[in-house]
Amino acid sequence: MSGLAVDHLTLARGGRPVLDSVSAVFSPGRVTAVLGPNGAGKSTLLGCLAGLLAPDAGQVLVGARPRQTLGMRELARQIGLLPQGGDVHWDVDVATLVGLGRYPHRARWGETQQDRAAVARAMAATDVTRFATRPMAALSGGERARVLLARVLAGEPQWLLADEPLANLDPAHQLDTLACLRDVARGGAGVIVVLHDLNHAIQVADEILLLRDGRTVAQGAPAEVLTPERIAETYGVAGQIGTTPGGVPFIVTMPMAHHA
Amino acid sequence: MNRSLAINIGLVAAIAAAMLLSLIAGKVWIPLDAWVHADPRWPIIAELRLPRTVLAAMVGAGLGLSGAAMQGYLRNPLADPGLFGVSSGAALGAVISLYFGYAAAPWLLPMFALTGAAITMALLAVLVGRSGSIVVFTLAGVILSSVAGSMTALAISLAPTPFATSQIVTWLMGALTDRSWDDVHLALPLLALGCVLLGLTGRTLDALTLGESAARSMGVDPRRLQLLIVVGVALCVGASVATAGIIGFVGLIVPHLVRPLVGNRPSAVMLPSALAGALLLLLADSLVRAIPTVSELRLGIAMSMLGGPFFLILLMRMRRRLA
């Protein structure tokens, strides 16, 4: 398995470029955080990677093959998307919901031994096995988020794309989810996650892709990418970088004026 | 899994019993000992009640399955197969044939109705285009059904004779009175094909539970799904309206009745909805025949009368849950 890459990806909507010649390479076994202000093109980039959006120019390369040469089903087997919002339109039980993630691998009739094993592994990895028979409507926000992540993992994708998976979670569940993403990368899959919180990004990411106005500002190790200058240039806020006594890096942001 | 199977087997048994009831019940009660060729009441069974019974089961199954598929596709428990205009289009076709007095030839009305259904389906496909979008689909359906509805009203108001007016109004109420084997032969292949197409969508409708983006990222092709739904529902509903007129509420109610038994997963709801639709229509049709009114109670009206209170109960339950 080799990398996932975008090459001069360009996409315009309503005459405004949402992605403007973005090139980036993602590596398996690593967590890449995609950062940038609102409207930077983060979700659009994920949409292109997952095959939901067709770029106007440039291409997505999956293991050196252009995306279009892979069938929809093959692409779906390789790339799993955890979309923003996490709709669940029918109140099904947890095991059924996680089982939906096997769709790209489905056999004509019924589920196979492999399907059952993958669902069980995904539920164990996200620690939701004990709610297997509970209806989705009976779960808390944090439990629900973990079940939705288990759904994507059940498809055993080589690439996990997560669009703001921490939205609406309390701090403990945010850290849980980040730990799950790290585990997925440790298992060998590539993880690409859109985040808003810079602190989450430096905690979880091996690499950061910083976007602004549809263009790449920088890609690299967190400490290299997230400098006070870049934070100011990209977000228009002042950022101070520090380290806890325990050695955990953190970033405090504040309005520009205070800094000056 | 086993629970679903048990429920489906139970429904099949109930359908068999309801068919038996449907053959016995009516203005003339025909006890089982009269079921021999020589009995003078035999033709009532063979030529009147049997085709009617078979047609009730077929139409009920087609409407129930269409309802389950529509609700799964639109992810809305209040969706109804009538929502996307094919039943109104089919009704308009039938009304046109009555307007011009073509009803003399018994096969003309169903043909006009099927043509109406096919034209509506084609228009729907053109309006929706290649988008595969559910919002566009719903809007296009609402537009088509209101246009067809207004044309039907126009036909009623301009009808050449009071007789034509009364014929149109009566037909619109939907019934299975005086149906023959010809109607069964006409509807069966269309309903069967429609049901097969809708049956193919089960797993994909399950995937749609997670929303459109997630479903597409799992390899769902929204255009293929939409095509299967449009053609499948059009065949089922078109054939139903052509042979039985407009019978509302079956597609709307039945999935609600089976969900508490088999769960909410769209594919698990489909087969039991078809079976329960057949059962419901068989029972309702036996009931309208057995009730001693001057002229037979129209099946479409009976279903609407059941549908209103049913939705009241649904509303009360929803309110209690929200409170």
Q: Which domains does chain B have, with CATH numbers?
A: 2-322 (1.10.3470.10)
In this predicted model, what pLDDT tens digit does every residue of B112-152 receive, in sequence order?
A: 999 999 999 899 888 887 777 778 888 999 999 999 999 99
Q: How far is B152 from B158, CA to CA, in rounded Å?
A: 10
Say if residue A259's pLDDT is above 60: no
In this predicted model, what pLDDT tens digit does every residue of A178-217 receive, in sequence order?
A: 999 999 999 999 999 999 999 999 999 999 999 999 999 9
Q: Does B225 touch chain A (CB under 8 A)?
A: no
Q: Which residues pair with A192 in a beta bridge?
A: A32, A161
**Residues sharing a CB contact under 8 Å with residue A224, sequence separation 6 or more, in sequence order:** A218
Among A75, A89, A97, the residue to mutate for chain B (most B Cβ within 10 A): A89
Positive or negative, the CA dihedral A217, A218, A222, A224 is negative
Give A217 to chain B, closest Cα distance, Å: 27
Say if residue B1's pLDDT is above 80: no
Q: How far is A184 from A192, CA to CA, in rounded Å?
A: 11
Whole-number pLDDT of residue A257: 73
For B201, name the nearest residue in chain A, comparing CA atoms only: A108
Interface A-B, measured as beta-carbon pairs within 8 A, has a size of 70
Q: Does B209 touch chain A (CB under 8 A)?
A: yes
What is each CA distance from A220 to A30, A131, A171, A209, A223, in whole angstroms?
Answer: 12, 39, 26, 7, 8
Cβ distance A72 to B214 less than 8 Å, yes or no, reads no
CB A151 within 8 A of CB A136: no
Give the least confident one: A104-108, A162-166, B224-228.
A104-108
Q: How confident is the model at residue A93 (pLDDT cuts 50, 70, 90)?
A: very high
Whole-number pLDDT of residue A2: 73
The tokens describing B200, both together, are 């193919």
- What are the structural domain ranges in chain A? 4-226, 227-260
Q: Does B200 touch chain A (CB under 8 A)?
A: no
Whole-number pLDDT of residue B104: 64
End-to-end CA distance of chain A, in Å? 48
* Residue from the list B216, B220, B264 with its beta carbon closest to the beta carbon of A90: B264
Give B208 to chain A, closest Cα distance, Å: 8
DSSP tag of B313: H
Based on its alpha-carbon atoms, the radius of gyration of chain B, rounded to whole angstroms, reads 20
Q: How many other C-beta atoms are found inside a 10 Å radius of the C-beta of residue A12? A: 14
In this predicted model, what pLDDT tens digit does every residue of A23-41 receive, in sequence order?
A: 999 999 999 999 999 989 9
Q: Does B210 touch chain A (CB under 8 A)?
A: yes
Q: Does B178 touch chain A (CB under 8 A)?
A: no
Q: Which residue has the tokens 């398995």?
A: A1
Based on its alpha-carbon atoms, the radius of gyration of chain A, rounded to whole angstroms, reads 19
Rounded to 5 degrees, φ, ψ at A212 are: -150, 130
Q: What is the mean pLDDT of residues A114-135?
A: 93
Whole-number pLDDT of residue B106: 72
Q: What is the pTM of this model?
A: 0.90
End-to-end CA distance of chain B, in Å? 33
Is the domain defined by A4-226 classed in CATH 3.40.50.300?
yes
Among B5, B134, B212, B213, the residue to mutate for chain A (most A Cβ within 10 A): B213
Q: How confident is the model at residue A161 (pLDDT cuts 50, 70, 90)?
A: very high
The tokens describing B309, both together, are 């209170």
Q: How confident is the model at residue A1 (pLDDT cuts 50, 70, 90)?
A: very low
Q: Does B41 touch chain A (CB under 8 A)?
A: no
Say if residue A126's pLDDT is above 70: yes
| CA B140 from centre of chain | 20
* Residue from the list A52, A88, A91 with its beta carbon closest to the beta carbon of B217: A52
Give the three-state DSSP class for A16: strand
Cβ distance A101 to B218 less than 8 Å, yes or no, reads yes
Say if residue A5's pLDDT is above 90: yes
